[in-house]
Amino acid sequence: MRALRDLPSVDRLLAGPGAALAERFGRVTATDALRQALAAARTAAKDGGEVPDADTLVAAAARQLEAGSESALRPVLNLTGTVLHTNLGRALLAEAAIEAAAEAMRHPAALEYDLTTGARGERDDHVRALICELTGAEAATVVNNNAAAVLLVLNALAEGREAVVSRGELVEIGGAFRIPDIMARAGVRLVEVGTTNRTHPRDYRGAVTDRTGLMMKVHPSNYRIEGFTAAVSAPELAAIATDAGVPLMNDLGSGTLVDMTRWGLPAEPTVRQAVAEGADIVTFSGDKLLGGPQAGFIVGRADLIARINRNPLKRALRLDKIRLAAIEATLRLYRDPDRLTERLPTLRMLTRSRDDIAAQAARLLAPVAAMLPDYTVQVIDCASQIGSGALPVETLPSAGLAISGQGGDAPERLAARLRALPVPVIGRIRDGALILDLRCLPNDGALLGSLSHP
């Protein structure tokens, strides 16, 4: 029997079996973990537990260090059926964008430096022309995300004044983005017009005073009002704003640079359309349907963009070189729309056919069932969502695996078990089963590899 006094010192452990730990995790971190292992052993021994030997102590410290060295931001398999899942990081970037971002991280870049004159340049220069080319807008700038874009535009163009918005468009996007709250933070007084289901041109006209600073249209991304409804179209509203002598801002939310219907996807307004319909400023997200990194695009009239760029908030909300590089590379792909579904992962997943997904489900049925012997696995038809508030009503026909087991909490227990895997598998629970929608599974091996972990 070993006694408490036989416990080795930290120094002896570091000189002996703990040396490898110091090599791998650094001396300070390894010393700390060994100290904790020794303290735990002492406590356990006082309670009558066995006094461990040096190898056992080092193994305990190693387990703790390994658990702590796992990245906190873990890659997962998104089998939720929601392609642009905000909580799972939205769009996946194109390879070209990933490479561009990596290059920007590795090297100095001419971020705000004009290589022709050697004078100071502007960081928007790298993407402005591309954005204008793809949207038909006169000018453009980019900030941290679309919420920031909306905040900045409101503050720059209407601070201390009123912004007129339809009651049918006072949306909450999720993650505490509510149009009325953003307005208040921007120092803009909200003037609501119309009703939840019906707003008319006369409602907007009647709200115009000498305090009006802006008219705002918000794309109702994540809900739809149906039945007895009326909304004022963007061109009509543009005419009203022009008469009132104030700019019209159109927050598209997702917005797309190409017409999605060419791939059989539900129609979503394009930025080019919104610009052509007379909006003076259009805002949209980088990591929704556009398929790039998180960003907020602001496009429109050159004089207004210049005012926005002079606002001090712009400096606080600006983008770094890494994301600018990724945005530029992503936008370049839009010059060849015919190859977008190959190159943009988001679009590739959105346009995957039900048959292709069903074939994958059929292939995976037997091996997955063999890995989960306590459960019943079936191939099912299901419906994917685009996500991030884009086109919420329309779903995409998809296929997947439905896994059910004994006991009412079987799906929850299995879901927890799959979340605990080294590469967590995230599904959704429906009708007493865990559903794995395979639309966003990159290949069969990704799921089998993850599940094969004990």
Ligand X SMILES: *Cc1c(COP(=O)(O)O)cnc(C)c1O
Tell me which residues touch ligand X (CB under 6 A).
145-147, 150, 173, 177, 218-219, 221, 251, 253-254, 285, 296, 388-389
Q: Closest-CB residue for ligand X?
A: 253
Structure tokens at 159: 């601070």
Please report, for residues 32, 79, 297, 339, 407, the alpha-carbon distance to residue 428 in angstroms, rounded to integers and kept in the order given: 40, 8, 32, 32, 17
Q: Helix (H, G, I), strand (E, B), or coil: what is residue 276?
A: helix
143 vs 435, which CB is nearer to ligand X? 143
295 vs 418, which CB is nearer to ligand X? 295
Q: Helix (H, G, I), strand (E, B), or coil: what is residue 368?
A: helix
> Shortest gap between Cβ of 416 and ligand X (angstroms)?
29
135 vs 254, which CB is nearer to ligand X? 254
Q: What angle do helix axes 321-333 and 95-106 make, rounded to 10 degrees?
A: 150
> Shortest gap between Cβ of 174 and ligand X (angstroms)?
8
Where do the H-state alpha helices sit in 70-218?
A: 95-106, 125-135, 146-158, 179-185, 201-207
Strand partners, 120: 113
Nearest CA to 170 out of 160, 156, 155, 184 is that of 184
Q: Look at the block and give the residue holding tokens 């997962």.
A: 76
> Shortest gap between Cβ of 207 and ligand X (angstroms)?
21
> Shortest gap between Cβ of 296 and ligand X (angstroms)?
6
60 vs 101, which CB is nearer to ligand X? 101
> Shortest gap between Cβ of 79 and ligand X (angstroms)?
23
146 vs 351, which CB is nearer to ligand X? 146
d(CA 190, CA 171): 13
Q: Tell me which H or E stretch contains 445.
A: helix 444-451
104 vs 149, which CB is nearer to ligand X? 149
Strand partners, 174: 177
Where do the H-state alpha helices sit in 16-94?
A: 19-25, 27-46, 54-69
Provide the residue type at 56 as one letter.
Answer: T
> Shortest gap between Cβ of 144 and ligand X (angstroms)?
8
31 vs 294, which CB is nearer to ligand X? 294
> Shortest gap between Cβ of 101 and ligand X (angstroms)?
18
